[in-house]
Amino acid sequence: MTADRGLKTMVGLLMVVALAAALHQASSVFAPVAFALLIIALVWPLHRWLQSWLPKLLALAVSVAVIVSVFLAFGSLIVWGFGRVGRWLVGNSAQFQAVYDQVMAWLEGHGVAVAAPWAEHFNVGWLMRAAQEITGRVNTATSFWLVVLVYVLIGLAEVDDMARRIRAIESPIDARVLMDGATQTAIKLRKYMLVRTVMSVITGVLVWLFARLTGLQFAAEWGVIAFALNYIPFIGPFFATVLPTLFAIAQFETWQDALGIFLCLNAIQFLVGSYIEPRVAGRVLSISPFVVLFAVLLWAFLWGLFGAFIGVPIVIAVITFCAQHPSSRWLAGLLGGSPRASTETGG
């Protein structure tokens, strides 16, 4: 019996590794589907309300128009914030080069030369190559979102038919697990994105106010960047504090001021992310911080930046579906969810 259990465990691990490899290799196929399902879950209440007042095709057109408008507004805001900071960075690269050389000289004077080999690569050419790479990623993101939009268009039109097919499954238990899991997952994803959006707005406003008070350049831009990056747990807030700190070093030319800005920005992130957000989200979205970090890093490795964003929603879906069946309910509790609350309250 012990040998059989060990064999089953080994087979399970191999299947997980094989699935991860498949998701990584076929990211261009699976990633748009995952994002489309997330968007469908978010926009479904609006689409269902529109269907009660308008013909189906017109309701679908209005729903897609709303989605595209939100995408364009969010994308334009991000391009504006990062674009202005990026242009200033390229135009003042010599100043950053001088600061970098001073830091290298100080490190070498104290016997630390770990970063010296990179000195010759930190120049305007390196910045231009980085800007070109970012531009290429923006083009890739555009095609990615077009594919996502097609999936959303088709998915919204088939939600009702899919629900009928699920209810027609011969096994009542399987039908219940699928229907309840999908319904409660959609509810939790909407709550997660609402909380994440509110917290991102609060973070962006606080960063903007702090930058204005301290005289840090591009206060509005840093607020926008903090707002956008806050959608990616752990990784986003880290870069949202590091980037303004690097600019503070060049602007104020003293490490004490830069250190103070870094500490204050981290205090803002900690206040919002570790104190306010858990109390707003409540027990329904309670997930182990270890699981959240692991999910962000895992899906970032599998699907890049898109994976880092969608990693937590995927974990929410897994926990919710596991909580629907007694045989897998233990896994929901292990990952930090509240399976009893999930099944009793409906998310």
**What one-character-per-residue DSSP string does 319-340 give?**
HHHHTTSTTTHHHHHHTT--HH
Q: Is residue 315 part of a domain?
A: yes
Q: Is residue 5 part of a domain?
A: no
Containing structural domain, residue 125: 27-168
Q: Do 118 and 160 fall within a single domain? A: yes
Q: Is residue 209 part of a domain?
A: yes
Q: Is residue 19 part of a domain?
A: no
pTM, full prediction = 0.82
Average pLDDT value over all residues in the chain: 80
b/e string for 41-68 if b means 16 or more Cβ within 10 A? bbbbeebeebbeeeeeeebbebbbeebe
Q: Is residue 235 part of a domain?
A: yes
Give the whole-angstrom CA distance, residue 264 versus residue 310.
28
Q: Do 192 and 139 fall within a single domain? A: no
b/e string for 205-214 if b means 16 or more Cβ within 10 A? ebbbebbeeb
pLDDT in tens, 3-62: 566 666 677 667 777 887 888 888 888 899 999 999 999 999 999 999 999 999 999 999
Q: Which of 139, 168, 197 is the C-terminal boundary of a domain? A: 168
User: For the chain, how many structural domains are there in total?
Assistant: 2
Per-residue pLDDT for 99 more than 80? no
pLDDT in tens, 188-228: 999 999 989 999 999 999 999 999 999 888 999 999 999 99
Residue 343: per-residue pLDDT: 43
Q: Do 160 and 191 fall within a single domain? A: no
Q: Do 341 and 199 fall within a single domain? A: yes
Q: Which comes out higher in pLDDT, residue 124 or 10?
A: 10
Q: Do 117 and 233 fall within a single domain? A: no
Q: What does the pLDDT average to over 147-153?
A: 92
Q: Which of 168, 192, 213 is the C-terminal boundary of a domain? A: 168
Q: Do 181 and 115 fall within a single domain? A: no
Q: Do 194 and 323 fall within a single domain? A: yes
Q: Which of 133, 168, 203 is the C-terminal boundary of a domain? A: 168
Residue 106: per-residue pLDDT: 64
Q: Do 190 and 298 fall within a single domain? A: yes
Per-residue pLDDT for 131 more than 60? no
